Chains A and B, each alone.
Chain A
Amino acid sequence: MKNFDEKIRDKLFNAEMPVSSGLWDAIEQNLDRKDKRPKVWFLLMSLLIGLPLLFFAYYYPISVDSKEKPSLENTDDKYFAENSVLSDRFENFVDTENLVSDNSMKLNQTLSIEKIPSLSYNSIGSFKNSPQNLSFQIASGNKQRKLTPFTQIGLAGLNKEIIFQLNQEEDILLFPRLFNSGNDCPDFKRKWPGLYLYSQLGSYYPFQSLSSDGSEMSSLISERDLTESGVPSFSFETGLGYDFYNGLFVQTGISYNQINIKFYHRQEDIINNITSIIIDTLFNPQGEVVSINKDTSVYQEIGVQELTVNNSFKMLDIPISVGYSYPLTDKIHLRASAGLIFNMRTRSRGYMVDSNGEPYEYGRNDNDLFKTKWGLSYSGALDLETIINDKFSFNAGLNMRYFSKNINVSTNAVDQRFFNLGIVAGVKYRI
């Protein structure tokens, strides 16, 4: 039978056939098309940036509702008094300067200052169901003396605010209290009220998946699956974050990750040669040596050889994540986040089996199996944040990280990927 197979193989294995002349052009066109495909990471980045913006656009429509005044009760009468006094003073000022008729429009604009309280500055887009009492405020008018129009937009909550002032030329004299709703008013001196420092420690289990482009590596993959298994690994991350009023938060920093893989190899029927030397010394009654007999023999011991090593992948990363914090109670928030992790550097070291099933060491002096930069990976987290006081809070929950890319260099024919799943606990300090 072999003769028959071999003869056919000899005839056909190196056989050639002519190819149509236009085939290369078709291949080349497809190669061009492939080059122009957008990168997946670019689309993901666009989504990460675009989705929060859409969220803002959806929840903060700029509209004026002059009827709803939920916080006006907190506003003291003195405020109106001050404004009317200022307006009166301004009218006097205009009169004394004898403005010509083309300034009348500016005068009208200036007079609208009196109407600012009626804009219900604390009511637009108010979230009554939120403990943070979020509100969106918008106002416009003219400055007191220079008749300079300005626009001021603010977003305020408990002890937090973002203020944008357009075409600002000097400090505002008239409107520092425009966004003030009484005792709950934000402090305008703080520029980054949601800024915080964070640190967190994670422990996770790495799920390793091995694959190959063809079936030729299937036996090696099976052997590696048998000898390599994930064991508890850890990560440490620290950095800066920012809490927005609507519950969104972003954070970035630097992290150290270590993926641990246990390598266990057992080799049966190992033959060990043992040399035995027996020396017989014969003494006479006087204690003198009569003879020395030396007998050397070699015998074989059959057993098993076991090798257990902790393979490690040590990584330095830059994580960027965006999340949403939902207040379950005043003190406990449920947080969900997703993000990208940029791997800056990875060192790999350990043991694996070769195609003959023999273990060998890699990464001690050089590493020709794994990339030193793993590129992009994706992260996700779900945790509970417990607010201890104004400054501190603790969080704990679940964490995952997925490496979609093959981490091998081209000399390593087996594709390798990781999916890490574990728990994380950390502390947050508001600056």
Chain B
Amino acid sequence: MSPLSLNSITEKELVALCLKGDRISCKQLFELHSGKMMALCYRFARDKNEAEDILQEGFIRIFNKLDLYSGEGVLEAWMRRVMINTALKYKQKNVTKHNYSDIDDKHVFDPTPTIIEEMSKDEILRLVQNLPDGYRTVFNMYVIEGYSHKEIADSLGIGESTSRSQLVKARTLLKTQLLNLIRLAG
């Protein structure tokens, strides 16, 4: 759903109405962003149920802290940050421990990037979803959300080198999975 297709009201005006406690506007804001945020949460979660739990917590947080949104910059970017923080906190609470092993990668395989272009979003999402929890978190934060290794290390309480090695492992695993797909396709 495009932000402008909802109605003539701008996103800024919608935020202002939400801050005044207008629940209809809150619902509109939720509907405007819930699709993208759900996909984001799903990438961090184990399954759809967990993703919806994170999404719910994240939106409650967003509405409670909406007054902290400066109005400068894109609202979606701010929401993504809040949602990622919520996902990380959720996982800290609900998962015993991620395996952030500091292992050097032995080989890096580089499949043809055109394979990715030919794949649908859902197929790639499924591949990412198959990554182990720790790898997936680092991969999502670095590759999709654009966090630096320092920021990832700060957020997850791990070393920067661990973040780097997890990323390499995640890439390697993804590429291995892609290779297997190519082989299966013949």
Listed in ascending order, the chain A residues whose CB lies under 8 Å from chain B are 1, 3-5, 7-9, 11-20, 23-24, 26-28, 30-31, 34, 213-216, 218, 410-413
Q: Does A8 contact B143, Cβ atoms closer than 8 Å?
A: yes
Assuming the contacts A31-B26, A410-B70, asked whether A7 and B113 have C-beta atoms less than 8 A apart, the reply is yes
Q: Cβ of B102: which chain A residues have Cβ within 8 Å of it?
A: none
Q: Does B81 contact A214, Cβ atoms closer than 8 Å?
A: yes
**Alpha-carbon gap, A214 to B51, bound state (A):** 20
**Alpha-carbon gap, A15 to B150, bound state (A):** 26
Stretch from B6-14, B29-37, B158-166 that touches the partner: B29-37
Q: Is B27 an interface residue (CB 8 A)?
A: yes
- Of the candidates A14, A17, A213, A410, the one having the most CB atoms from chain B within 10 angstroms of its own CB is A17
Q: Is B3 an interface residue (CB 8 A)?
A: no
| Chain B min CB distance to A354 (Å) | 12
Assuming the contacts A17-B38, A28-B27, asked whether A410 and B68 have C-beta atoms less than 8 A apart, the reply is yes
A-B contact count (CB 8 A): 112
The closest CB in chain A to the CB of B34 belongs to A19
7 A-B contacts (beta carbon < 8 Å):
A5-B143, A16-B35, A19-B35, A19-B52, A28-B23, A411-B70, A413-B68
Q: Does B82 contact A27, Cβ atoms closer than 8 Å?
A: no
Assuming the contacts A16-B36, A19-B52, asked whether A8 and B144 have C-beta atoms less than 8 A apart, the reply is yes
**Alpha-carbon gap, A27 to B55, bound state (A):** 9
The total of chain B residues at the interface (CB under 8 A) is 51
Q: Does B151 contact A23, Cβ atoms closer than 8 Å?
A: no
Question: Among residues 43 to 98 in chain B, which have CB atoms less than 8 Å away from a CB atom of chain A?
Answer: 43, 51-52, 55-56, 59-60, 63-65, 67-72, 81-82, 84-85
**Alpha-carbon gap, A1 to B60, bound state (A):** 37
- Of the candidates B36, B52, B119, B143, the one having the most CB atoms from chain A within 10 angstroms of its own CB is B143
Q: Does A34 contact B143, Cβ atoms closer than 8 Å?
A: no
Q: Which of B38, B71, B128 is in CB contact (< 8 Å) with A411?
A: B71
Q: Does A7 contact B60, Cβ atoms closer than 8 Å?
A: no
Question: Among residues 159 to 180 in chain B, which have CB atoms less than 8 Å away from a CB atom of chain A?
Answer: 171, 174-175
Q: Which of B51, B59, B85, B119 is in CB contact (< 8 Å) with A213?
A: B85
Q: Cβ of B103: which chain A residues have Cβ within 8 Å of it?
A: none
Q: Does B143 contact A18, Cβ atoms closer than 8 Å?
A: no
Assuming the contacts A7-B117, A17-B42, asked whether A213 and B35 have C-beta atoms less than 8 A apart, the reply is no
Other contacts beyond A1-B171, A34-B60: 10, CB < 8 A: A3-B113, A7-B116, A8-B124, A11-B121, A16-B38, A17-B51, A27-B60, A215-B155, A218-B151, A411-B72
Q: Which of A9, A31, A34, A218 is in CB contact (< 8 Å) with B154?
A: A218
Q: Cβ of A5: which chain B residues have Cβ within 8 Å of it?
A: 143, 171
Q: Cβ of A28: which chain B residues have Cβ within 8 Å of it?
A: 23, 26-27
**Alpha-carbon gap, A12 to B43, bound state (A):** 9
Q: Is B110 an interface residue (CB 8 A)?
A: yes
The closest CB in chain A to the CB of B123 belongs to A11
Q: Does A34 contact B124, Cβ atoms closer than 8 Å?
A: no
Q: Does A413 contact B70, Cβ atoms closer than 8 Å?
A: yes
**Alpha-carbon gap, A111 to B151, bound state (A):** 87
Q: Does A19 contact B65, Cβ atoms closer than 8 Å?
A: no
